[in-house]
Amino acid sequence: MTIIKINQWAEPLIHHKGTLLEQALRRGVPYPHQCRSGECGQCKTRLISGSVRQMPCLDIALSDNERQDNLILACRSTPVTDVEVSWLDEADVDETSAAEIPVEVRSVKREGRVCRLVVALLADPSAMVFKPGQYVNFVLPGLPVRPYSMASVSGSATLEFHIEHQDNGFVSDYIARYLHAGDRFSVRGPFGDAYLRPEEKGPLVAIAAGTGLAPLVSIIRSAIITTPERRLTLIYAEREKRHQYYLEELQRLAANTPILNVQLVVSADPPLSTLHNDSITQCLNQLSYSLQDASVYIAGSPVMVESVAKTVKLLGADQHRIRADAFSRAAVQGDQRVSLVARLGRLLRTR
Ligand SMILES: Cc1cc2nc3c(=O)[nH]c(=O)nc-3n(C[C@H](O)[C@H](O)[C@H](O)COP(=O)(O)OP(=O)(O)OC[C@H]3O[C@@H](n4cnc5c(N)ncnc54)[C@H](O)[C@@H]3O)c2cc1C
Ligand code: FES
């Protein structure tokens, strides 16, 4: 266990010392983190001594039980005294110890707002063995690092990703507009805990919104191969019908897999924060089996994940078998918001 001591008073007083995470990173501590906004839970920390002021966060990032167990989120906690803390999972700490593999773009296919990107590994596939549901970080020259989940199964010489085009988003906008077959960049990973556990029994229910479909397709495709006796349900929600993608593949998959039940949910009801929860609940209520011995996987925006996780818990799912992949947004520094022209000027095409 690595214990970090943040001594509030040893340093000359600076006007804003910031969160525990900011203070640790400033001191060069390789603290695990991702969203920096209380959504992903990567910076979960045990408070050993001292006290902190905590800001609100999502329950999926830190549950009530965890709070009572003296756990905090480093990105949402400001020390008010000297503190001693330790992060939870040392395996995640040093991201640089993960494999960084060069890849070459094979195809970029647009389906509405989604880019389906296929890259070939420029290394032996054994260098990038991942568990279904995991993600890698994209390291594109001149751009901030962003995580994207594999939609393909492990062991292949290619990886597939589904990337939603966010207007003015640093990385997704670049991928949608400028990435072409033959371009090269690197992926680092794999990472993530919301992966398929083939040893688990009972039905498997996967609930996706938007490109949350990507990791769940990887999970479903792998489960079909590794545990063909399990009942599989995939619920895929989009706000509007025109945003649905990957439909042909889903139809083909369902047609060829009797154990797989695919439900498409469309709801144009605002607000996004309650995205489809009623329609998803309806689908879940219509299942012919109970969720009590089911493994449930949820992927999409943090608010969608949080609200659906609450629903499945209420419907009897075991908390330990609910695994969620919240596509939280990375914190963007003000000075990163440079003009597109300036950004493009920095990009190195490595074709
Ligand atoms: C574990 C994990 C797995 C993920 N997997 C996937 C996946 O498979 N597919 C997928 O599509 N996404 C996935 N994501 C999300 C992905 O990593 C990126 O967050 C997403 O693509 C947006 O990145 P970007 O650089 O394009 O946008 P950013 O530059 O991060 O901006 C995102 C949006 O916020 C707006 N914005 C940002 N900062 C500001 C600001 N200061 N003021 C106003 N507006 C602002 C931008 O205009 C844009 O619309 C995943 C996230 C996580 C954490
Ligand atoms: S980095 Fe703290 S919750 Fe994501």
> How confident is the model over 234-286, as pLDDT tens digits?
999 998 888 999 999 999 999 999 999 999 998 755 544 454 567 888 889 88
Residues 6+ apart with CB under 8 A from 112: 242, 243, 244, 245
Give dist(CA 141, CA 164) in Å, integer: 20
What confidence tier does 37 reach under pLDDT thresholds 50, 70, 90?
confident
The alpha-helical segments, DSSP class H, found in the chain are 20-26, 64-68, 170-178, 213-226, 247-256, 277-285, 302-314, 340-346
What confidence tier does 341 reach under pLDDT thresholds 50, 70, 90?
very low
- Of the candidates 22, 137, 35, 43, the residue with the CA atom closest to the CA atom of residue 89: 43
* Cα of 76 from ligand 2 centre, angstroms: 8
- Of the candidates 272, 256, 266, 265, the residue with the CA atom closest to the CA atom of residue 286: 265
Mutate to test the pocket of ligand 2, among 42, 66, 78 (most ligand atoms within 8 A of CB): 42
In this model, does residue 288 exceed pLDDT 80?
yes
Pair 176, 163: CB distance under 8 Å: yes
Q: Which own/partner pairs from 222-225 qualify as long-range (CB within 8 Å, at least 24 positions apart)?
A: 222/132, 222/153, 222/154, 222/196, 222/198, 223/132, 223/196, 223/198, 224/253, 224/257, 224/259, 224/260, 225/153
Our answer on whether the CB atom of 41 is closer than 6 Å to any ligand 2 atom is: yes
Our answer on whether the CB atom of 338 is closer than 6 Å to any ligand 1 atom is: no
Closest ligand relative to 333 C-alpha: 1
Report phi then psi at 177, rounded to 5: -105, -25
Q: How many residues are recorded in the chain? A: 351
- Indicate which atom in ligand 2 lies nearest the CA of residue 41: 3
Radius of gyration of the chain (CA): 21
What confidence tier does 334 reach under pLDDT thresholds 50, 70, 90?
very low
Residue 2's pLDDT is 61
Amino acid at 85: V
Our answer on whether the CB atom of 40 is closer than 6 Å to any ligand 1 atom is: yes
Our answer on whether the CB atom of 162 is closer than 6 Å to any ligand 1 atom is: yes
In this model, does residue 345 exceed pLDDT 70?
no
Residue 7's pLDDT is 65
Closest ligand relative to 191 C-alpha: 1
Residue 268's pLDDT is 58
- Indicate which atom in ligand 1 lies nearest the CA of residue 174: 26
Mutate to test the pocket of ligand 2, among 31, 40, 52, 88 (most ligand atoms within 8 A of CB): 40
Mean pLDDT across the stretch 302-318? 90
Label residue 192 exposed, middle or buried (CB < 10 Å: 0-12, 13-18, 19+). buried
Q: What is the pLDDT of residues 95-144, one digit of tens each?
A: 555 788 999 999 999 999 999 999 999 998 888 999 999 999 999 998 98
Pair 170, 332: CB distance under 8 Å: yes
Residue 13's pLDDT is 41
- Of the candidates 327, 321, 319, the residue with the CA atom closest to the CA atom of residue 63: 319
* Cα of 326 from ligand 1 centre, angstroms: 11
Task: Give me the domains of the chain, ranges plus CATH numbers.
Answer: 3-92 (3.10.20.30), 95-193+330-346 (2.40.30.10), 204-326 (3.40.50.80)
